[in-house]
Amino acid sequence: MKRKYLCFCLSGCFIWFICCLVLVAVIYIFTPFVQIEGYSMEPNYSDGEVWVLNKFESIERGDVVVFHQPGKVDLIKRVVAIGGDRVEIDKGSVYLNENLIIEPYLAKGSETIGGSFIMNNQKVTVPLGSFLVLGDNRENSLDSRMQQTGFVEGEWIIGELWFRIFP
């Protein structure tokens, strides 16, 4: 009787082990991971953190995404505007469709200043199928304000940060 019970328990544990192994393999194969490098998304996302990406949801304003521009490194930024939106940077703030954006994710006292692509007091319209992205650490971010990044095409987006797995 004890031997049957022991075999039953061991087979149950083995089945659970195999299920967990399959689940980890599926997540690893179908869900990409990303490690944050740099400080452009502080104070919310820190250098060295590892995140799982969700590449199955549509991208919306406020999402934090990873994208790859051809010939450049992957970047992690927050989506501030989507195709068709009108954006202006003025007096240290961002305006979306003539309305001030409230950005609680920015560090207290942080200001947004224009760059080489979107300058202060310049109104721009985001092309359809593209996004305007900004880093949370506006003073230390290579983002859509700069000529090197500009608008991010939808096809460049790898996925949205979903959940942190380390540390």
| Positions marked catalytic | 40, 77
Q: For residues 163 and 167, what is the distance between their CA atoms, to the nearest angstrom?
A: 11
Return all residues near 27 (Cβ < 8 A) that are at least 6 apart.
52
Which is it for strands 86-90 and 50-54: parallel, antiparallel or unpaired? unpaired
Nearest to 77 by CA among 124, 22, 138, 20: 138
Nearest to 83 by CA among 130, 117, 20: 130
Q: For residues 65 and 70, what is the distance between their CA atoms, to the nearest angstrom?
A: 16
SS (H, E, C) 96-119: ECCEECCCCCCCCCCCCCCCCCCC
